[in-house]
Amino acid sequence: MEFSWKRFLPILPVAFFGLAIWLLYHEISHYRWQEIEQSIGSIPLAKICFACGLVSLNYLVLVGYDWLALKAIGVRLEPAKVAFASFAGFVASYNFGATLRGVSIRYRIYSTYGLTAIQIIQLSVMLGVTFWIGEFALAGVVFVIAPI
């Protein structure tokens, strides 16, 4: 009988989630709940609202990345579909890394919308290129404003 890893693939997400819970518990186990509540309570509500607003703005900009990439490869989709695929892809990328989950989530979603594998690869490459162009542009501005 040949050993197959495919049997264990459904268990991987549960294992990763369990590992994340264990790591979180390990990191906060030396704090008391009162300390955590007090620390969170000391943050002004205006700062929390501002942070939530910036997160929302960030995801809106990220949806724009997907929209521009789709427009560049000549694919038209409903804005709600683009927003869903973009949001899901970037959430997975932020939490698990682009190579581990972000691209595969996008593949699964965009393929159900009728995009071919080549189009999804083009989209992913364009997302990566626009990300790095933004990183280098930001680094250039930072080095001009505050050189080392």
Token duo for residue 82: 């683009």
- pLDDT of 96 higher than 80: no
So what's the pLDDT on residue 99? 59
Q: How far apart are CA 141 and CA 69, in angstroms?
A: 24
Centre a 10 Å sphere on the Cβ of residue 101 and count the other Cβ atoms it contains. 19
Amino acid at residue number 115: L
Whole-prediction pTM: 0.69
Q: What pLDDT score does 90 carry?
A: 86
| Bigger pLDDT: 102 vs 61 | 61
Q: What is the pLDDT of residues 27-78, one digit of tens each?
A: 888 889 899 899 999 999 999 999 999 999 998 998 998 999 999 999 999 9
- Residue ranges in the chain assigned as alpha helix (H): 11-28, 33-41, 45-72, 79-96, 103-112, 117-145
Domain spans in the chain, listed from the N-terminal domain onward: 44-145
